[in-house]
Structure 1
């Protein structure tokens, strides 16, 4: 799901949900996606990333922790 909202001051906010299929979890796919998103963010002067996982998503939490979020 991707939602983009544009405010009057021309600030853009994006809500992007990414899910890794169970067969591909723990294989570095999420890390590669996160690195690419960070690269895109830097190229486009993103202010910040907000990352969320469900409490039971320990793989996602580990990914974010290892990426220093």
Structure 2
């Protein structure tokens, strides 16, 4: 479940910014995110691009979107 304050890392093999969810209303298809380190670059992102795991259902690593960071 997506909640404000969660941090996601890019699944792109080339790397990418970590993002933090600032606002999300359950049932909506977008969340407002910012850069996790600076708090800047706010933007809307589709919640379908936010995943619980960096791997797909068949165990392959994701190559796009974002995966939830685990502490």
Where on the TM-score scale, by shorter chain, does this alignment land: which range?
Answer: under 0.3
Structure with larger Rg = 1
| Between structures 1 and 2, the one with greater helix share | 1
Bigger proportion of residues as strand? 2
* TM norm structure 1: 0.24
Instruction: State the TM-score, normalized to the length of structure 2.
Output: 0.24
